[in-house]
Amino acid sequence: MMNGLFGTDGIRGEAGVYPVTAEIAEGLGRAVVEVLGRGNAAKVLIGRDTRESGLSLETGLVKGLMARGAEVIKLGVVPTPALASFIGELGADAAVMITASHNPFSDNGMKVFGPSGYKLDDIFERRIEKILLEEGGDGGVIEEGVVRDFPEGIESYVRMATGSVKGLDLGGLKVVLDAGNGAAFEVAPRIFRELGADVIAMAIEPDGKNINECCGAVHAAVAGRLVMEHGADLGISLDGDADRVVFTTADGAVLSGDRVLAIGALGLKAKDRLRHDAMVATVMSNLGLDEALRNRGIKVLRAAVGDRQVLEMMKSEDLCFGGENSGHLIFSDYATTGDGIMSALQVCRLMREEGKTLAELASVMDEYPSVLMNLPVREKVPIETLPGLKAMISEAEEAFGRDGRQLIRYSGTESKIRVLVEHRDAAVVDEWIGKFKQMISEELG
C-alpha cells in the first residue's frame, strides 16, 4: 500500500486524501528522526507555502517530530530554496518543505532535505517508506521535543540572495514579478527592489486558495501581458514554492526553460566558471540545446526527470550548473536546490553585463519543433507490457534516426502519461503525436 509513496519530488497529492494527510505527516516526522539516527538530538526545520492545508500538515509533522524528542524549528511561509539554505546555517539535521509546487491549491505535499541541504536520495526515502508501512502515524511519545519559530529566517535569505550577485545594480531595469500568490510573495519583490529594480509585482496577495491560480510559472503569459502594458524589460514568474522560474521577454513572449539553460551555461563559460565545460539537463530538454552548446564547446549531460536527479548527476560529475526545461535552474555554487529568485538574479546580471535584452540572450539557440502531450490514465501500467505502444516506440526510433526523438513516461506526481515528440520537421512531430495518442487511447483508455 505504501510503495511508491515518494514521487519525483517528495510526497504529493490531493490535500486531506492519502497520502497527504496529517496522520501521514505525523508518521513522516517520526520516520525522519529515526532515519537520521540522531534520536532526541535531532534538529528539524519546517517550511510551507501559502496553501490553506499547509497548517494541518505542519501540525502533524510537529507532533511526530516532537514525539521522537526532536528540536523543531518552524519558519512559516518561506521559499523552498530558503528552507534548504537554513539547514547549514542553523546546524539542522533535516528540513521538510510543505508544498505542491506548481499544482493547484487543492493539492499539497512534503519533500525532505537532508543535513547537506540536498533532497533525500532514494535509499533514505525507501527507508522512510518502510518505517511508515510498519508504524504508520501511531506510537506513543518517547521523549517530548521542543518547538520554536524562526521569523528572522527571511532576513538571512535576503542577504544570501543579494550576496549571490554582489555588486549588481538593477537601477533602470523594469521588471514584472509574478509571485504566483506563493511562498515568495513578500521576499521576491523586496529582493529586486533592494537591488534597485523598478518592480511591478503581481499575485502577491495569497488567501490560501489562489496559489498558482491564473498566475505564476505555469501561467507566465499573464506576466508577459503586463510586461507589454508597462513597457517592462522582462517578466519573472515563480511557482508556488519559488524553486523554479519562467521568463518573458520585453515583447511578452514566454521563454522556454531550455533557452534559459543555454543563457546560464554560456554566461558561466564566458567567465570561466562553468566547471569542465559541461552542464546537466534532463531527458525532456530540446535537442536544440545540445546542438547550440556543442557548437560553443559545452557538453550537455542528460539526467532523468526531476531536479533531484539533475543535482545527483551534477555532484557525481563535479559540475556547477544544470536544470530542467520546466524552469528549475541550479547554480550549485550558490544553492543546493533550484532557486527561482537567485536564478532570475543571475539572468538579470547577464543582461546587465552583456548589455543585451533577454530576447537577444535567448537567441543563442534554435529549438527543434516538439510537442509534449499529457494524457490522463486510469492506472500506470508498465509501458514495456503494452505491446502496441512498445512496438510503436521502436518504429519511431528507427524512423527518426538522428533527426528526432520520442520520450514516453508516466508523470511522477499525477495520474498522467507524458508523450514528447521532437524532430527537425514539424510535420513529422504532428504525425507521430497523433499516432501515439491513438495507441495510448486504445491500450490505456
Distance CA 174, CA 250 (A): 10
Instruction: Evaluate whether 313 touches 271 at the Cβ level (below 8 Å).
Output: no
Q: First CA to last CA across the chain, in angstroms? A: 24
CA distances from 266 to 337, 341, 368 (A): 20, 19, 19
Strand-strand pairing, 234-238 and 245-248: antiparallel
Amino acid 193 reads R
Q: What's the full length of the chain, in residues?
A: 445
Alpha helices, DSSP H, located in 231-271: 257-270
Q: Which residues are catalytic?
A: 101
Assigned C-alpha cell, 212: 498558482
Grid cell at residue 222: 499573464
**Contact (Cβ atoms closer than 8 angstroms) between residue 344 and residue 197:** no
Whole-number Å distance between alpha carbons of 235 and 247: 5
Beta bridge partners of 110: 11, 98
Q: Is the dihedral of CA 151, 101, 337, 263 positive or negative?
A: negative
Integer-rounded Cα Rg, in Å, for the chain is 22
The DSSP-derived string for 138-182 is ----SB--EEEE-TTHHHHHHHHHHHTTTT---TT-EEEEE-TTS
The answer to whether residues 290 and 202 touch, using CB atoms and an 8 Å cutoff, is no
